[in-house]
Amino acid sequence: MTGPNQTGRLEVQPDVAAFVAAVRARLADLTDEEREELLGGLEADLSERLAEGEADLGDPAAYAAELRAAAGLDVRTGRGLRGRLAPVSRTPLHLEVVGLLDAGRRRVDKEVGSRPWATEAWRLVVAVRPAWWVLRAWLAVELLDRVVGPAEYLTVMPSLGNQVVGGVLLLAAVVGSVLVGTGRLWPGSHEGTDPVRRLALLLLNLVGVVVVLPVVLDGFPGAYDSHALANGEIYANASSGYGGSGLRVDGHFVRNVFAYDAEGNPLPGVQLYDQKGRPLEVSQDPYLGSYRSSGARVHTYPWFNGDQKLFNVFPLPVREQRGDQPVRDAWVTTRPPALPRPPLAVVPPAVLPTPPAPEPQVTPSPSASVSPTGPASPSRRPSTRPSGRPSARPSPSTDSEKPRSR
Amino acid sequence: MDTTQLLKGVLDLAVLAVVDDDDGYGYDVVRRLRAGGLDDVGDASVYGTLRRLYAQGALTSYVVPSDEGPHRKYYGITASGRSQLKRQREDWDRFSRTVSTLLATVGTTTERGTR
For A255-287, write each residue's pLDDT tens digit: 889 999 999 999 988 999 989 998 888 888 777
B51: distance to nearest CA of chain A, Å? 6
Mean pLDDT over residues A218-224, rounded? 65
What pLDDT sits at residue B42? 82
Min mean pLDDT across A140-144, A249-253, A299-303 is at: A249-253
Q: Is the pLDDT of residue B6 over 80?
A: no
Contact A72 B52 (CB under 8 A): yes
Work out whether the CA dihedral A288, A294, A296, A299 comes out positive or negative.
negative
Comparing B99 with A16, the larger pLDDT belongs to B99
What pLDDT sits at residue A52? 76
- Chain A interface test: which of B54, B61, B71, B74 (most A C-beta within 10 Å): B71
Contact B70 A67 (CB under 8 A): no
- Chain A (241-280) residues lying within 8 Å, Cβ to Cβ, of chain B: none
Confidence of residue A295 (pLDDT cuts 50, 70, 90): low
Residue B99 burial (10 A CB sphere; 0-12, 13-18, 19+): exposed
**Following DSSP, what letter does each residue of A226-290 receive, concatenated?**
HHHHHTTSSS-BGGGTTT-S--EETTEEP----EE-TTS-EESSEE-B-TTS-B-PPP--GGGSE
Determine the Cα–Cα distance for residues A334 and A321; give it in Å rounded to an integer.
12
Neighbouring-strand partners of residue A304: A309
What pLDDT sits at residue A192? 56
Contact A42 B47 (CB under 8 A): yes
What pLDDT sits at residue A18? 81
Min mean pLDDT across A63-67, A87-91, A92-96, B15-19 is at: A87-91
Min mean pLDDT across A3-12, A123-132, A199-208, B83-92 is at: A3-12
A61 and B CB contact within 8 Å: no
Determine the Cα–Cα distance for residues A345 and A389; give it in Å rounded to an integer.
33
Confidence of residue A82 (pLDDT cuts 50, 70, 90): very low
Q: b vs e for A68-99, b when ≥16 Cβ sit within 10 Å of the residue's Cβ?
A: bbbbebebeeeeeebbeeeeeebeeebbebbb
Determine the Cα–Cα distance for residues A254 and A378; give it in Å rounded to an integer.
9
Contact B48 A70 (CB under 8 A): yes
Comparing A94 with A135, the larger pLDDT belongs to A135
Residue A237 φ/ψ, nearest 5 degrees: -80, 110
Q: Cβ neighbours of residue A376 under 8 Å, at least 6 residues apart?
A: A343, A344
Contact A44 B63 (CB under 8 A): no
Angle at A69 between CA A68 and CA A73, to 5 degrees: 55
| Angstrom distances, CA of residue A47 to CA of A14, A51, A55, A251, B108 | 10, 6, 11, 77, 51
Neighbouring-strand partners of residue B64: B72
Q: In terms of Cα–Cα distance, which of B48, B88, B98 is closest to A72?
A: B48
A317: left (phi over 0), alpha (psi -120 to 50) or beta: beta
pTM of the model: 0.40
Work out whether the CA dihedral A341, A343, A347, A352 comes out positive or negative.
negative
Comparing A152 with A139, the larger pLDDT belongs to A139
Contact A66 B73 (CB under 8 A): no
A49 and B CB contact within 8 Å: yes
Residues of A in contact with B52 (CB under 8 A): 70-72
Contact A70 B70 (CB under 8 A): no
Angle at A330 between CA A324 and CA A334, to 5 degrees: 120
B9 and A CB contact within 8 Å: no
Average pLDDT, chain A: 73
- Chain B (75-114) residues lying within 8 Å, Cβ to Cβ, of chain A: none
Euclidean distance between the first and the last CA atom of chain A, given in angstroms as a whole number: 83
Contact B69 A9 (CB under 8 A): yes
Contact A70 B49 (CB under 8 A): yes
Query: Among B30, B42, B47, whose Cβ lies nearest the Cβ of A38?
Result: B47
A173: distance to nearest CA of chain B, Å? 37
In a 3-state reduction of DSSP, which class is residue A326? coil
Q: In terms of Cα–Cα distance, which of A404, A357, A364 is closest to A384?
A: A404
Residue A342 φ/ψ, nearest 5 degrees: -60, 150
Contact B11 A8 (CB under 8 A): no
A306's enclosing H/E stretch is none
A40 and B CB contact within 8 Å: yes
Contact A66 B48 (CB under 8 A): yes
CB B43 within 8 A of CB B15: no
Residues of B in contact with A44 (CB under 8 A): 25-27, 66, 69-73
Confidence of residue A323 (pLDDT cuts 50, 70, 90): low
B1 and A CB contact within 8 Å: no
A69 and B CB contact within 8 Å: yes
Determine the Cα–Cα distance for residues B37 and B32; give it in Å rounded to an integer.
9
Work out whether the CA dihedral A147, A149, A154, A158 comes out positive or negative.
negative
Q: Is the ipTM of this complex over 0.90?
A: no
Comparing A327 with A243, the larger pLDDT belongs to A327
Confidence of residue A328 (pLDDT cuts 50, 70, 90): confident
Q: In terms of Cα–Cα distance, which of A272, A343, A351 is closest to A312?
A: A272
Residues of B in contact with A6 (CB under 8 A): 63
B112: distance to nearest CA of chain A, Å? 43
Neighbouring-strand partners of residue A293: A296
The alpha helices in chain B, defined as continuous H runs, are: 3-21, 26-35, 43-56, 79-114
Mean pLDDT over residues B27-31, rounded? 88
Determine the Cα–Cα distance for residues A311 and A289; give it in Å rounded to an integer.
11
Confidence of residue A8 (pLDDT cuts 50, 70, 90): very low
Neighbouring-strand partners of residue A309: A304
B42 and A CB contact within 8 Å: yes
A71 and B CB contact within 8 Å: yes
Cα diameter, chain A? 121
